[in-house]
């Protein structure tokens, strides 16, 4: 998934951007020409769409807005997933609008999601171009932003070989070792649970991918590079915030050119991206040369590379390095966000917690932790995972898809190049499908196969998250282990009464539960001793 940046921030950036643009046009008249190019592009897009839609089919319903800027100013700033759900009362489950010359389609019904993303996946699997992020800042490595085509397919295949459900069992030893460590940390420093959970996922992924152990130290050099690169991509990760996203030809202007601040910004950021992708990759290659490499995905990819003189070698090396970097970027914080939501939900529903603990006590007993092999006997823990993924959307809008052909659906015209956004939140909070959808209630999934599973939380069609099996296995191992030895309780107020908790998810491409605290307390002395023994 992606770094967190809220729409509030986006709108501040855009507002600031507009002011800057106005002052820039005074200093750099070529921006008037750029404005002219945008204007011409909008007009030619309009003419082309009329030509390609000879029967004059309407667009799906939606806010129409003002000439040229379209409905840009109507795009909801906070909790847009809930705002779009409100819009559906007026427009239905398919909402279309134009903003700054770009077409947007919001899809928020089970049927529409299935009809478009799944049944027509051949034309609903592209991504909107983001020249600032991919070409200039070097985030081309991220398969999540690759255009739909052969290069994406080769990355996805390489990824799948190492993360499909039949092979991920091999990562269990790393996962379990790190879970034992984190239980020890939760016992010693329960108030820092947020840091521990983030660090746990980062550690598992760096070990699995590169065989690299990161330290708990905030200055760990690997973590510093990752953090810096997330900062550089924060703004550029939002498609359309930079002029160059609208006029890609601007990427060729030299960085010394007046007004080309974005090019200088990109040059600095690109160096960080190169470090992110190449440094750990080179470290693995070096360890392989010296013969002391830890087993890891990247070590396996490097070992499988074609011979030095093979013409495909360079491309295969790029794919190996790219896969290494993308797993951290896509996998660490997303799973951490879901894990934190789970802890919060459990603290809000002690009854659910007791049911899961009773199940664990009965089938696993007090002398060991549950493992993935116990899963068939622990259906309530499974219900907790499903409910967590339904209740809190880590990526409420997934990553935007784009149509690669014109389409007709239900009597409407959907042009090629439309940005298509699935609203998983709206589906998974539909009162017609889920009673009291804002409640964290795993009972709705317990022994109830008819309840809609939260699959859309992992995205759609051919672009659906390829890391979901790994993440699911991590979540089961972590949640069952935590529940076996700890109670997760709400904080107490001054009078010693449990405080009310709330999910209050953050805005952004990637969403986290709002700041909260819980008390994490060993269930009994036996459980505390088990944690100490495992962490020794
Ligand atoms: C709870 C955890 C996770 C959630 C909720 C999640 C969710 C998502 C979503 C919504 C997408 C976009 C799908 C679309 O565009 O339709 C996605 C893409 C992706 N995810 Fe995950 N993810 C999680 C964990 C992971 C993990 C652990 C990995 C790596 C091991 C991973 C790797 C990826 C990759 C590589 C993509 C891009 C796929 C493509 O564009 O073809 N994710 N994820």
The per-residue pLDDT string of the chain (536 residues; one tens digit each, 9 = 90 and over) reads 443 333 333 333 333 333 334 444 444 555 666 667 667 777 777 777 778 888 899 999 999 888 777 777 777 878 889 999 999 999 999 999 998 778 999 999 999 999 999 999 999 999 999 899 999 999 999 999 999 999 999 999 999 999 999 999 999 999 999 999 999 999 999 999 999 999 999 899 999 999 998 887 667 888 888 878 877 887 777 666 677 887 788 889 888 888 888 899 899 999 999 999 999 999 999 999 999 999 999 999 999 999 999 999 999 999 999 999 999 888 888 999 999 999 999 999 999 999 999 999 999 999 999 999 999 999 999 999 999 999 999 999 899 999 999 999 999 999 999 999 999 999 999 999 999 999 999 999 999 999 999 999 999 999 999 999 999 999 999 999 999 999 999 999 999 999 999 999 998 778 899 999 999 999 999 999 999 999 88
Dihedral over Cα of 512, 517, 518, 522: its sign: positive
**Residue 535, C-beta contacts closer than 8 angstroms, at least 6 positions apart:** 180, 181, 183, 184, 187
β-strands 419-422, 102-107: how paired? Answer: parallel
254 contact partners, CB below 8 Å, separation of at least 6: 260, 263
Ligand 1: atom nearest CA of 156 is 41
**Which of ligand 1's atoms lies nearest the C-alpha of 144?**
40
Ligand 1, closest atom to CA 117? 16
- Helix, strand, coil percent content, the chain, rounded in steps of 5: 60, 5, 35
- The pLDDT value recorded for residue 531 is 97
Of 61, 80, 93, nearest in space to 430 by CA: 93
- Locate the ligand 1 atom nearest the alpha carbon of residue 471 and give its number: 27
Three state DSSP letters for 259-321: CCHHHHHHHHHHHHHHHHHHHHHHHHHHHHHHCCCCCCHHHHHHHCCCCCCCCCHHHHHHHHH
Q: Which of 207, 465, 513 best tests ligand 1's pocket when mutated (most atoms within 8 Å of CB)?
A: 465
Residue whose CB lies within 8 A of the most ligand 1 atoms, among 462, 467, 473, for a mutation test: 467
In the three-class reduction of DSSP (H, G, I as helix; E, B as strand; rest coil), residue 383 is classed as helix
Annotated binding-site positions: 465
Annotated binding site for heme: 465
Burial pattern 463-474, b for ≥16 Cβ within 10 A else e, equals bbbbbbbbbbbb
What is the Cα–Cα distance from 216 to 214, expressed in whole angstroms?
7
- Atom 19, ligand 1: which residue's CA is nearest? 465
In this structure, which residue's CA is closest to atom 14 in ligand 1? 459
Q: Is 109 helix (H, G, I), strand (E, B) or coil?
A: coil
Q: 486-489 and 407-409: which strand pairing?
A: unpaired
DSSP 8-state code for residue 114: I
- What pLDDT, on a 0 to 100 scale, did the predictor assign at position 46? 74
Q: Cβ of 249: how many Cβ atoms within 10 Å?
A: 10
Q: How far apart are CA 329 and CA 262, in angstroms?
A: 23
Pocket test for ligand 1, best of 147, 163, 170, 330 (most atoms within 8 A of CB): 330
Atom 30 (ligand 1) nearest CA: 467
Length, in residues, of the chain: 536
The binding-site residues of ligand 1, defined as CB within 6 angstroms of any ligand atom, are 1, 143-144, 156, 159, 163, 326-327, 330-331, 334-335, 338, 394-395, 398-399, 457-460, 463-467, 470-471
Whole-number Cα distances in Å, 213 to 15, 36, 479, 503: 42, 53, 23, 32
- The minimum-distance atom of ligand 1 relative to the CA of 424 is 10
- The pLDDT score that the predictor gives to residue 18 is 39
Q: Whose CA is nearest to atom 37 of ligand 1?
A: 144
Stated pTM of the model: 0.89
Q: Which atom of ligand 1 has the smallest separation from the CA of 394?
A: 5
Minimum CA distance residue for ligand 1 atom 1: 335
**Separation of 458 CA from ligand 1 center, angstroms?**
6
Tell the burial category of 90 from Cβ atoms under 10 Å away from its Cβ (0-12, 13-18, 19+). Answer: exposed
416: CA distance to ligand 1 center in Å?
Answer: 24
Integer Cα distance of 67 and 141 in angstroms = 37
User: Tokens 């190996």 sit at which residue?
Assistant: 320
For 495, residues 6+ apart whose C-beta sits below 8 A from its C-beta are none
Please enumerate, as own/partner, the contacts of 500-505 that have beta carbons within 8 Å and a separation of 24 or more.
501/344, 501/347, 501/348, 503/341, 503/344, 503/345, 503/391, 503/392, 503/438, 503/440, 505/79, 505/392, 505/393, 505/396
Does residue 320 contact residue 298 with C-beta atoms inside 8 Å?
yes
């Amino acid at each position: 998934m992606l770094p967190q940046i809220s729409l509030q921030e986006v709108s501040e950036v855009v507002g600031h951007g507009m002011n800057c643009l106005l002052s820039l046009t005074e200093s750099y008249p070529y921006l008037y020409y750029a404005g002219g190019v945008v204007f011409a592009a909008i007009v030619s897009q309009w003419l082309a769409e009329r030509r390609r839609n000879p029967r004059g089919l309407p667009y799906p319903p939606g806010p129409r807005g003002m000439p040229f800027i379209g409905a840009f100013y109507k795009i909801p700033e906070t909790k847009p997933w809930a705002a779009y759900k409100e819009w559906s009362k007026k427009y239905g489950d398919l909402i279309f609008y134009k903003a700054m010359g770009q077409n947007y389609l919001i899809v928020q019904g089970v049927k529409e999601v299935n009809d478009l993303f799944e049944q027509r996946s051949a034309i609903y699997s592209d991504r909107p171009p983001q020249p600032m992020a991919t070409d200039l800042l070097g985030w081309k490595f991220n398969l999540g932003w690759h255009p739909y085509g052969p290069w994406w397919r080769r990355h996805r295949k390489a990824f799948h070989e190492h993360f499909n459900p039949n092979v991920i069992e091999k990562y269990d030893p790393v996962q379990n070792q790190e879970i034992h460590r984190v239980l020890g940390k939760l016992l010693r420093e329960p108030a820092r649970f947020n840091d521990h959970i983030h660090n746990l996922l980062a550690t598992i992924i760096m070990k699995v991918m590169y065989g690299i152990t990161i330290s708990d130290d905030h200055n760990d050099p690997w973590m510093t590079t990752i953090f810096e690169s997330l900062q550089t991509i924060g703004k550029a990760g939002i498609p359309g915030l930079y002029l160059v996203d609208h006029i890609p030809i601007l990427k060729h202007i030299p960085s010394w050119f007046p007004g080309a601040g974005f090019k200088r910004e990109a040059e600095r950021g690109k160096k960080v991206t190169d470090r992110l992708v190449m440094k750990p990759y080179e470290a693995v290659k070096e360890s392989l040369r010296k013969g002391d490499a830890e087993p890891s995905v990247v070590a396996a990819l490097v070992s499988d590379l074609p011979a030095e003189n093979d013409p495909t070698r360079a491309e295969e090396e790029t794919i190996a390095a790219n896969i290494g970097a993308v797993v951290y970027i896509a996998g660490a914080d997303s799973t951490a966000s879901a894990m934190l939501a789970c802890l919060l939900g459990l603290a809000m529903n002690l009854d659910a917690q007791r049911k899961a603990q009773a199940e664990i006590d009965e089938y696993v007993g007090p002398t060991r932790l549950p493992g993935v092999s116990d899963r068939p006997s622990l259906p309530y823990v499974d219900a907790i995972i499903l409910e967590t993924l339904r209740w809190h959307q880590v990526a409420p809008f997934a990553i935007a898809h784009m149509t690669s052909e014109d389409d007709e659906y239900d009597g409407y015209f959907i042009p090629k190049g439309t940005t298509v956004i699935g609203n998983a939140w709206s589906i998974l909070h539909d009162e017609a499908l889920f009673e009291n959808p804002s409640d964290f209630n795993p009972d709705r999934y317990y022994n109830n196969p008819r309840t809609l599973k939260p699959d859309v939380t992992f995205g759609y069609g051919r672009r659906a998250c390829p890391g979901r099996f790994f993440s699911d296995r991590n979540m089961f191992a972590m949640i069952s282990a935590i529940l076996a030895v700890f109670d997760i309780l709400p904080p107490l107020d001054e009078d010693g009464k449990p405080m009310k908790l709330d999910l209050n998810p953050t805005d952004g491409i990637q969403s986290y539960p709002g700041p909260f605290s819980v008390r994490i307390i060993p269930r009994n002395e036996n459980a505390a001793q088990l944690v100490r023994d495992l962490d020794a």
